[in-house]
Amino acid sequence: MPQFQYSGRDNSGSLVSGYIDAGTATDVAEKLFGDRVTPIEIKEAGVKHVEKDKSSSRSRMDLGPDATAIDKVNAFLGFSNIEIDELIMFSRQMHSLTKAGLPLDRAIKGLEASMSNRSFRRILRDVITGLENGNNLATALGQYPKIFSQLFLSLVHVGENTGRLDEAFIEISKYLELEKSTRKQIKGATRYPIFVLVAMAVALGVITVFVIPVFSETFERLGADLPWQTIWLINTSNFVVDYWPVMLASIAGISFGFLYWVGTVKGRLNWDKKKMGFPLAGEVFEKIALARFARTFSMVMGAGLPIVQGLTVVAGAVGNAYIAHNVHKMREGVERGESLHRTAVVSNMFSPLVLQMIAVGEETGTVDELLGDVADFYTTEVEYDIRRLSDAIEPVLISFIAVLVLILALGVFLPIWDLNSAIRN
C-alpha cells in the first residue's frame, strides 16, 4: 500500500502534517476529514509527477471519414458544435449506466452508437480507444479540454478513484443544469436590447445613406435656410457616404485589436475587471463569477479534493480572469499555511456574511456544505439582479430611441414646415 504525505489544518486552525498509508489520495482525504482535518495538499511520498502520456492522443484534424468540411474548419479553429444540453444528457446517461454496473467501454460504446451529433460520436470513439489503450476515463476525456472542463475531469477522476463514478456524473449534470439556467437568464435579459440596437443601427444606416441625401438635394435646389438639426444630419450623411470604406476599415481594425487584446493574459485580466464596474450589468457579472466559485468549490471539496488542488480547479471554472487571479492568490496563501478564511478576507471578493460562513465551515469541517449555501445565495441574487437589469434597460432604450426619433424628425420635417410656411405667405 503506498504512503502519502499530507498537510492540512485542524479545527483550531493549526497547521498539521504527516504520513498516511492508503490506497489513493482520496482515501487519505476522507480519513483526514473524518479526523476533522481539512487537507491542504496530499501527494504520494517519494513519487514525482510525470508528464501525461500523449501518445494515445488523436490528432484534432484526424476527424474520421464522415467528417464534413465545416467540421474540419471548426476543429482547426478550435470551435465546437457540442451544446451544453448534450453534455448534460451524456452525464445523466453515464450516471445511469455506471450505476447499473456496466463496464465503461460498453457504456460509452452504447452512447456512441445512439449519439446523433457526429462530432460527439467521434470524441466518444477516441475515448473508447483511450480506454482500450489502458487510460482511465478522466485521461481519455482529457484529450478534449475544450469540451470537458477541468472541473468535469477532476470530478470524473475523483469518482474513478473512489468507486463513486455514478455520483460524480450526477453532480456534473446538476452543475451543468445550473450553468445552462444562468446562460438562459443572461440571454433572455440581453435579447431584447440587442435586437432593438441592431434594428436601430440598420434603420439609421438606411436613413443616412439613402433618405437624407434625397432631402439634401431637394433643400439645396430650393435654397431654403436650414435649421442646425438638418445641417447636422446632412453633414453626417455626407461624411458617411464619402468615407464609408474608411469607417468600415476602422471598425474592423478596432474590433480586431480589441479581440487580440482580450486574447492576451493581461488584456483578459483587465477586461474582466472592468466588466464588473459596468453600470447596471457589473454586479451581475461579479455575482455570476462568485456563484460559480462557490458552487465549484463546494463540489470539489465534497468530492474530497485537497484545498490547493480544489482552488486550482475552481480558478479554471469561474469564467472570469480577474476572479480566477484572486483565487490563485488564495491558493498561494493556503500553500503558505494561511487559513482559507484569511485568504478569502485578503482577496476582498466576498461580503462579511460569506466570510463568516467560510470561517464557520473551516471550524466545523463543513466548508463544502456552507459553500453550497453561499452558491445558492449568489444564484438567487443573480436571478433578482437579471430581472432588475431587464426592467432598467427598457426605459433607457426607449429614451435613446426617443432622442434619435426627435433629432430625425426635427432635421427632416422642420425645413419642410418652413417651406410650406414660406409658400403660403
Q: What is the mean pLDDT of residues 255-265?
A: 92
The yes-or-no verdict on residue 22 having pLDDT over 50 is yes
Q: What is the mean pLDDT of residues 94-116?
A: 88
Give the list of residues 6+ apart from residue 145 with CB closer than 8 angstroms, or none.
153
Q: What is the pLDDT of residue 254?
A: 95
How far is Cα 151 from Cα 168, in angstroms, rounded to an integer? 11
Per-residue pLDDT reduced to its tens digit, 276-334: 888 878 888 888 888 888 888 888 888 777 888 888 888 888 888 999 899 989 988 98
How far is Cα 98 from Cα 167, in angstroms, rounded to an integer? 9
Give the list of residues 6+ apart from residue 146 with CB closer than 8 angstroms, or none.
78, 80
Put simply, whether the predicted model's pTM sits higher than 0.85 gets the answer: no
The yes-or-no verdict on residue 52 having pLDDT over 50 is no
Q: What is the pLDDT of residue 14?
A: 66
Per-residue pLDDT reduced to its tens digit, 338-397: 888 899 999 888 888 888 888 888 888 888 888 888 888 888 888 888 888 878 888 888
Strand partners, 41: 7
